[in-house]
């Protein structure tokens, strides 16, 4: 996570370039209970964004949502996205950013719950970037699954495998995993291979 990049993003919203907001985010993404939802995940998302930024209607809003979408991550909680969105929106509100922009950022972050199709085009891009991990090579995907299991190591094995398989099956059941043509072309085929293999392993097939 790059401090200078964060300051440039703050400037895009005409927010003060203080270190406080960056240090708070860095502390959050460095929490010891995180294995996957770390600063490395944010860096991966920002790398994906840099390659696809021309797809964004409001690039600064998309990037801001990516920085903040996992700012709160408690594996015991089911409302992490809402709390992360509140964090993001409070920061923008206090800086005098318009309500319209703030609410779009909220929508982008809430879309990463992955419970329903995103409505806004920029939300679809945020979701595709967040899900790009599903389409990486087999070794990287295996590390992803291992890291997720570590974050939920308190869940008994049989229950974890059942619930995890259900989540992965929900992605595989979609007509397409990715909403944008660019991400479908790059990741859809490999993502489906990875998901199918992971589900088979979880189900003991």
Q: What is the pLDDT of residue 159?
A: 96
Domain at 129, CATH number: 1.10.3210
Q: What is the pLDDT of residue 205?
A: 62
Q: What is the pLDDT of residue 192?
A: 98
Q: What is the pLDDT of residue 17?
A: 76
Q: What is the pLDDT of residue 18?
A: 79
Long-range contacts of 105-112 (CB under 8 A, 24+ apart): 105/61, 105/64, 105/65, 105/68, 108/61, 108/62, 108/65, 108/69, 109/65, 109/68, 109/69, 109/81, 109/84, 109/85, 110/81, 110/82, 110/85, 112/69, 112/70, 112/81
For residue 79, count other CB atoms closer than 10 A to its CB. 12
The structural domain count of the chain equals 1
> Averaged in consecutive runs of 10 residues, what is the pLDDT profile of the chain (205 residues)?
94 88 96 96 97 97 98 94 96 93 97 92 98 97 97 95 96 96 97 97 87
What is the per-residue DSSP string for 18-29? -SHHHHHHHHHH
Which range marks the domain in which residue 163 is found? 3-203
Residue 58 exposed, middle or buried by CB count within 10 Å (0-12, 13-18, 19+): middle
């Amino acid at each position: 996570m790059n401090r200078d990049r964060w300051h440039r993003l703050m400037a895009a919203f005409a927010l003060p370039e203080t270190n406080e907001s960056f240090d708070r985010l860095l502390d959050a993404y460095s929490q010891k209970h995180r294995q996957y939802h770390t600063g490395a995940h944010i860096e991966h998302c920002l790398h994906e964004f840099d390659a696809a930024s021309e797809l964004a209607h409001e690039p600064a809003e998309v990037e801001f949502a990516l920085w903040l979408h996992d700012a709160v991550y408690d594996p015991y909680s089911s409302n992490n996205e809402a709390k992360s969105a509140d964090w993001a929106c409070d920061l923008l509100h206090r800086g005098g950013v318009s309500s319209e922009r703030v609410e779009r950022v909220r929508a982008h972050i809430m879309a990463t719950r992955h419970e329903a199709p995103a409505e806004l085009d920029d939300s679809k891009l945020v979701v595709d970037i967040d899900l790009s991990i599903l389409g990486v090579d087999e070794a990287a995907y295996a590390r992803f699954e291992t890291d997720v299991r570590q974050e939920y190591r308190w869940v008994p094995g049989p229950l974890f495998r059942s619930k995890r398989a259900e989540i992965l099956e929900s992605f595989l059941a979609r007509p397409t995993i990715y909403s944008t043509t660019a991400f479908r072309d790059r990741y859809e085929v490999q993502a489906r291979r990875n998901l199918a293999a992971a589900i088979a392993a979880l189900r003991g097939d």
